[in-house]
A = this chain, B = another copy of it.
């Protein structure tokens, strides 16, 4: 198996991308192609010992930055690490693609270059979401901010397949994110999506109140990209705000400082539960080939976990299963 890694995307690249690739080769037993400025990637690679022939480099002179307009960037920067990497994926030079670069550009590139699976109306950006019970899988988290009910139906199918095959959940419970649990609650979009999802051959548990999402009420949470992004970002913001409030409280007196010191390892372990780095990247579901977005601030550890995720994505044949499921269901 060969995985293509965007050597230039993200805040900490090329260092993180190269080190993450080296670690992945050693731990996961696969080959990697790093796309980026050849001399920079080579210089970075020379810091590590790598088994011969496990890491190749494809030269790419340009880089797409986060502040570029995605469609323009993909169209114009033909020599960027992202465009060259995605083209290499389509040409069969590698089996999957990982990038910590611009989410918008990766989505656009995915749609324009890799293209959607036949029958899929919209590709979704999905992510693993840490809960008190473990993890849930949330989609869409930002690729489609204006959705039709049919898109949500397809997100449910794709989420179910991914959760079962890649995350290893047996008969994953699929919930529709809503502001009430009973059928008939919510806005027009979710009401109509509910009816469509009820007819699917998945383990649909109905509406889930967003209040219960952090408790792991469902294995897969389906929503439109605006609401999904709100859930994701508010979760990040709340965790950060609660930590800073907690810190403020804990430094109020000598006694509380001492108390907090005694709890240091527990506070660290608690923070670790919310660490995106553990969970790898966010898969783009609905494309013809595996593409995973790593967090923009990924370090080598996060890149390695994103590579692990694309490996499972490939091994479990997720794309063929999605294609089959979508088209069986669409034909009925």
Contacts and interface: CB of A to CB of B under 8 A. Distances in A.
Nearest to A69: B184
Contacts of A215: 237, 240-241
A238 B236 contact: no
Contacts of A266: 249-250, 252, 256, 259
Interface stretch (A18-26, A52-60, A80-88, A205-213): A205-213
Interface stretch (A1-9, A226-234, A280-288, A297-305): A226-234
A187 B263 contact: no
Interface string A121-163: 0000000000110000000001001100000000000000000
Interface in A240-276: 240-242, 244-246, 249-250, 252, 255-256, 258-263, 265-267, 269-270, 273
Nearest to A217: B237
Contacts of A244: 132
Contacts of A270: 245-246, 249
A188 interface: yes
A186 interface: yes
A267 B249 contact: yes
B238 A239 contact: yes
Interface residues of A, number: 54
Contacts of A307: none
Given A215-B237, A241-B214, A242-B239, A177 B252 contact: no
A235 interface: yes
A179 interface: yes
A210 B230 contact: yes
A211 B259 CA distance: 30
Interface string A196-212: 00000000000001111
B145 A179 contact: yes
A279 to B, nearest CB: 16
Contacts of A146: 187-188
A183 B266 CA distance: 41
A230 B263 CA distance: 32
Contacts of A186: 145, 226
A4 to B, nearest CB: 28
Interface string A104-135: 00000000000000000000000000011000
* 10 residue pairs, one from A and one from B, having the closest CB atoms: A259-B262, A214-B241, A211-B237, A249-B266, A211-B233, A145-B187, A259-B263, A179-B229, A238-B238, A259-B259
Given A187-B224, A212-B237, 5 more contacts: A211-B234, A214-B237, A227-B227, A230-B230, A230-B231
25 contacts: A145-B179, A145-B186, A179-B225, A179-B226, A179-B229, A186-B226, A187-B224, A209-B233, A210-B230, A214-B238, A214-B241, A214-B242, A215-B240, A230-B231, A234-B238, A235-B238, A238-B242, A245-B273, A246-B270, A249-B269, A250-B263, A250-B266, A252-B266, A255-B262, A256-B265
Interface of A: 131-132, 142, 145-146, 177, 179, 186-188, 209-215, 224-227, 229-231, 233-242, 244-246, 249-250, 252, 255-256, 258-263, 265-267, 269-270, 273
